[in-house]
Amino acid sequence: MNRPVPSVTEMRRAYRRKDASYDGVFFLAVRTTGIFCRPSCTARTPLPQNVEFFPTPKEALFAGYRPCKRCRPMEAVGRPPEWVGALLSLIERDPAARWTDAMLRKEGVEPSRARRFFVKNYGMTFQAYCRGRRLGSSFEQIRKGVDLDDVALGYGFGSHSGFRDAFRRTFGAPPGRSRTGAAVVCAWIESPFGPLVAASTGKGICLLEFTDRRMLDHQFSRLRRHFRCAIVPGEDRHIAQLRKELGEYFDGTRTRFTVPLEFPGSPFEQKVWNALREIPAGTTVSYQDVARNIGRPSASRAVGRANGMNRIAIVIPCHRVINADGELGGYGGGVWRKKRLLELEKGARG
């Protein structure tokens, strides 16, 4: 899904130095202002704890951030044509506006031309960009307690049903449930091996995956089906604890996680995942070893399938399972990450 980004340390160094060579490589968003920028932005340097990183403007946009007016991060692939810059300025002047083909033509822009340019340069259609600006802003307003009627009508939706349908398609639940109802909250966590997405049910962590994993959409679909609730951006105490423990893990000072987990699955999958949690850091076992440990010595292939369906990377350490011949085998986050994780654990001090 998402392209890899440099390590957090490297990105922090880049934006502190306002290094233009990193423009387009990653984007930083500032929680206290709700704005995202490119690394070379000349605005005041934010505190590290207030910054999160995104690989593309699209991810930052749909996380509820708006483009910086100073560094214009939507122009990260070189300064866009004048007509695109003018269009972006108009949208930022009124993010709630609902742009139509007629409005584009009034500005002298053919709708098909806008769609092609936005798809090629920003990875989304022009209408998707506008929808992202509206929905991202509306979601933030809902979480702040703004009345749903005001949000629905104030962000360019002609009716409550239209707003609810658009919100559901983007966030997985109608807006009324996003404030008080049950929800799985998800957040980005930076790591030296690329960004991760974490999700929590309130009872424990239910997902931790590298954001470029191909099965990520499928994993989110399984979570929605199981928990029957929205998956929305947010933070809770379990994600905060996970963020802290992962930091210690990547620093080499933690070898075992204590954050609560919730990992629904079949009885067989649960047996496999619990067995994985018992593999000590710095060691590896084979699929056959896991099968024997759960009392199913002939089920090594089924163990491999369950291993691949693990939704909580690193904490449920499926990367510690290798082939019987000593080869690393596959890994959802990429074999290179599996190798790096094992190397990290062998040198850990915790």
Cβ-in-10-Å burial (0-12, 13-18, 19+) of 51 comes to: buried
Catalytic residue among 71, 130, 206, 318: 318
Letter string b/e over residues 19-43, b meaning 16 or more CB atoms within 10 A of that residue's CB: eeebbbbbbbbbeeeebbbbbebee
How far is Cα 246 from Cα 244, in angstroms, rounded to an integer? 6
Pairing of the two strands 66-67 and 35-37? parallel
CA 64, 174, 163: angle at the middle one, nearest 5? 70
How far is Cα 144 from Cα 140, in angstroms, rounded to an integer? 6
Q: At a CB cut-off of 8 Å and minimum separation 6, what does 175 contact?
A: 138, 139, 142, 148, 151, 152, 163, 164, 167
Q: Is 68 a catalytic residue?
A: no
How far is Cα 195 from Cα 174, in angstroms, rounded to an integer? 28
**CA distances (Å), 101 to each of 88, 124, 271, in order?**
15, 16, 55
Taking alpha carbons only, the member of 41, 123, 116 closest to residue 84 is 116
How far is Cα 207 from Cα 183, in angstroms, rounded to an integer? 14
Catalytic residue among 37, 68, 130, 186: 37
Bridge partners of 230, per DSSP, are: 183
Q: Is 318 a catalytic residue?
A: yes
Residues in the chain: 350
How far is Cα 233 from Cα 171, in angstroms, rounded to an integer? 8
Residue type, 64: G
Active-site positions read 37, 318
